[in-house]
Amino acid sequence: MHAVLKAGLIAGNGSHCRYDRQQPGRRVYVGGVDHDGSQNMLRIAQPLLLTLAMMVYLAGSPSRAQAQEALATSTSIEYRAYVRTFEKPHRQACLILLASCHYNRGGYVLAFREEPDGTWRLIEQKPSFGTEVLTYYSITMTRPYDEVPDTVKVKDAHGTHDVPVKPWVEEK
């Protein structure tokens, strides 16, 4: 088994192996295994394993993250809506919906979701961990429309808001 392990490490692409010429009084290490067969692998791999374990712990599971998705709760949310008509390659009116807010913690993820009745929901995904620091967020959504409405409804944890749709370019 040792010979197979040693041969596998030596046959590697070189990015994981270290080759040293043997010098008197100096041990030769190749991929964490020295020339007399004793293993240094634990000494080399331990920091990597600890880092990996910490990343898995901090990341959490996807189902846990999805369960935290809910209507946005920030108390400082403001919305803006614009209509922009693109001329090229063909004439197309688009709704541009923006939200801006802050949380007292980093790591939130925001998204807009459209309901069947045309109301937009501002969704937040709370972090499973994050720094306790005032963090500012913004989100933009663009969607083509045949006819852009004069107002759009946006729902968050504080209720439903009517947001007036303004032209992208102010008329002079």
Residue 156 CA: distances (Å) to CA of 7, 112, 140, 144, 166: 60, 10, 15, 23, 21
Query: Which pair of structure tokens corresponds to residue 127?
Result: 């972090």
pLDDT tens readout for residues 76-101: 999 999 999 988 888 899 999 999 99
Structural domain count, the chain: 2
pLDDT band at 52 (very low <50, low <70, confident <90, very high): low
75 and 53 assigned to the same domain:
no
What mean pLDDT do residues 19-48 have? Answer: 56
Q: For residues 172 and 153, which has the higher predicted lDDT (pLDDT)?
A: 153
- Dmax (CA) for the chain in angstroms is 85
Would you state the pLDDT for residue 132? 87
* Domain identity same for 39 and 88: no
**82, 166 contact by CB (below 8 A):** yes
Domain boundary among 59, 77, 103: 59
Is residue 30 very low, low, confident or very high in pLDDT (cuts 50, 70, 90)?
Answer: low
Range of the structural domain that residue 20 is part of: 2-59
Is the pLDDT score of 6 beyond 50? no
Q: Is the pLDDT of residue 152 over 90?
A: yes
Q: 42 with 78, same domain?
A: no
Each residue's pLDDT tens digit, 128-141: 877 888 999 999 99
Omega into 116 within 30° of 0, i.e. cis? no
Same domain, 6 and 79: no
150: exposed, middle or buried (Cβ count in 10 Å: 0-12, 13-18, 19+): exposed
Domain boundary among 59, 77, 104: 59
Give residue-wise pLDDT tens across range 57-69: 555 544 444 446 8
Retrieve residue 125's tokens. Answer: 């995904």
Confirm whether pTM is higher than 0.75. Answer: no
Task: Give 9's pLDDT tier (boundaries 50, 70, 90).
Answer: very low
Residue 64, in any domain of the structure: no
For the chain, what is the mean pLDDT?
76
